């Protein structure tokens, strides 16, 4: 299988991207890595060129570019060329740590959505206390969603959790302002009714956002505006708390500082839990092939784990299965 990689996208590109490929290559022996970008710069960080194809591109889309305009004007950018490779069948999937907006736009325009999927969504695997994790979507590909969109998200997320994360009959839940069936906006109530009647997914009802990190569901469905707000609230709270713990210890007595030094190890384990290094990227689900966005500030470990995630997506053919599922719904 072939994975197209935007080697120039992200805060630490091409260094972390290429080093991530070096790492992933050791584990993924059946993958050809296509690196799109400035060949000379890419080669600075590349261990060797086995299983590597370097495709020279001359432009880079950065975070300040307007996504839609950039896709049209920067045809020879590493991002557009990498996505185009999937469209042309020269690659099976694409990874970028560049502009989210540009990748979403290019994915939608070039890879295209599965015909019967109303709206693609951005989905990430987030950590839970028990290490099992949960997939949440939509994280912001859309700013408004109908009940029908939410139902499609539930199917997309369920297939992903089952095929890529290996969870049998994943528990799918809908974000609402209460766990009772009667709770929610009109849109959420309508989605709840449709999902309750579906046999192909294991819908467990509403979930409140306070029960996410404790593992209340395997797949969490919500509209893109709310999903984005929840994701960033979790990130912000974790960041502020870890910082406060650190500064409380540093501002404390000598005793406290010694205590802080002694618990450094378990606390760093906690940091791992909240870290994105092992979680892979955000998948833009509902398209005909895997399109994955890694964090802009991804470490080489994060890039390697996103590549392993894509490998699982290709190996399990989750996109192909979804195409078939939605085709059958049409009949």
Candidates 193-201, 202-210, 284-292, 302-310; binding stretch for its own copies (CB under 8 A)? 202-210
For its own copies, the closer CB: 89 or 186: 186
Phi-psi region of 20 (alpha: psi -120 to 50; beta: other; left: phi over 0): alpha
Give the C-alpha separation, 192 to 182, whole Å: 9
Closest to its own copies by CB, 211 vs 327, is 211
Among 49, 68, 115, 240, binds its own copies (CB under 8 A): 240
Distance of closest approach, residue 270 Cβ to its own copies, in angstroms:
6
**For the window 255-274, what string marks contact with its own copies as x by the rule CB under 8 A?**
xx-xxxxxx-xxx-xx--xx
Q: Of residues 57, 77, 124, 226, which one binds its own copies by CB under 8 A?
A: 226
230 is a site residue for its own copies (CB under 8 A):
yes
- Cβ 329 to its own copies shortest distance, Å: 28
Q: Tell which one of 73, 233, 321, 324 touches its own copies (CB under 8 A).
A: 233
Residue (209 or 309) nearer to its own copies, CB:
209
> Is residue 285 exposed (0-12), middle (13-18) or buried (19+ Cβ within 10 Å)?
buried
Closest C-alpha to 319, from 287, 279, 278, 282: 287
Please pick, from the candidates 154, 212, 221, 322, the single residue that binds its own copies as defined by CB under 8 A: 212
CA distance 137 to 297: 21
Q: Which is nearer to its own copies, 13 or 212 (CB)?
A: 212
Query: Coil, strand or helix: which one is 125?
Result: strand
Among 186, 197, 199, 331, binds its own copies (CB under 8 A): 186
Write down the least CB distance from residue 234 to its own copies, Å.
5
Under the criterion CB under 8 A, does residue 69 sit at the interface with its own copies?
no
- Between 26 and 210, name the residue whose CB sits nearer to its own copies: 210
70-129: contacts with its own copies (CB under 8 A): 129
Cα–Cα dist 172/229, whole Å: 20
CA angle 161, 166, 167 (to 5 degrees): 65
* Burial grade of 286 (CB within 10 A; 0-12, 13-18, 19 or more): buried
Q: Which residues of 146-159 are buried (b: 16+ CB within 10 A; e: fewer)?
A: ebebbbbbbbbbbb
Beta-bridged to residue 93, according to DSSP, are: 3
Q: Which CB sits closer to its own copies, 89 or 269?
A: 269
> Which one of residues 58, 193, 236, 324 is an interface residue with its own copies (CB under 8 A)?
236
- With contact defined as beta carbons under 8 Å apart, do 329 and 315 qualify? no
Number of H helices, E strands in the chain: 12, 11
Q: Which residues bind its own copies (CB under 8 A)?
A: 129, 140, 143-144, 175, 177, 183-186, 188, 208-214, 222, 224-226, 228-230, 232-245, 248-249, 251-252, 255-256, 258-263, 265-267, 269-270, 273-274
């Amino acid at each position: 299988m072939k994975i197209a990689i935007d080697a120039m996208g992200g805060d630490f590109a091409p260094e972390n991207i290429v080093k991530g490929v070096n790492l992933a290559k050791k584990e993924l022996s059946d993958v050809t890595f296509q690196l799109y970008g400035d060949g000379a710069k890419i080669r600075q960080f590349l261990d060797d060129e086995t299983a590597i194809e370097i495709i020279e591109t001359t432009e880079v889309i950065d975070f300040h570019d307007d996504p839609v305009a950039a896709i049209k004007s920067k045809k020879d950018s590493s991002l557009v060329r990498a996505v185009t490779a999937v469209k042309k069948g020269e690659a099976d999937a694409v990874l970028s740590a560049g502009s989210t907006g540009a990748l979403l736009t290019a994915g939608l325009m070039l890879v295209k959505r599965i015909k019967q999927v109303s709206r693609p969504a951005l989905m990430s695997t987030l950590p839970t206390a028990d290490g099992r994790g949960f997939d949440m979507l939509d994280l912001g590909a859309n700013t408004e969603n109908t009940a029908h969109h939410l139902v499609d998200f539930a199917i997309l997320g369920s297939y992903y959790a089952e095929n890529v994360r290996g969870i049998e009959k994943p528990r799918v839940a809908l974000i609402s302002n209460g766990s009772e069936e009667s709770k929610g906006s009109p849109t959420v109530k309508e989605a709840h009714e449709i999902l309750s009647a579906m046999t192909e997914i294991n819908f467990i009802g509403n979930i409140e956002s306070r029960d996410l990190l404790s593992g209340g569901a395997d797949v969490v469905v919500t509209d893109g505006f709310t999903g984005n707000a929840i994701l960033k609230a979790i990130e912000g709270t974790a960041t502020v708390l870890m910082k406060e713990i650190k500064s409380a210890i540093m501002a404390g007595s000598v005793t406290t500082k010694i205590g802080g030094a002694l618990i450094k190890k378990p606390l760093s384990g906690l940091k791992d839990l909240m870290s994105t290094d092992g979680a892979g990227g955000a998948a833009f689900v509902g398209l005909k092939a895997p399109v994955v966005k890694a964090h802009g500030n991804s470490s080489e470990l994060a890039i390697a784990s996103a590549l392993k995630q894509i490998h699982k997506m290709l190996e399990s053919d989750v996109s192909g299965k979804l195409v078939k599922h939605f085709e059958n719904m049409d009949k």
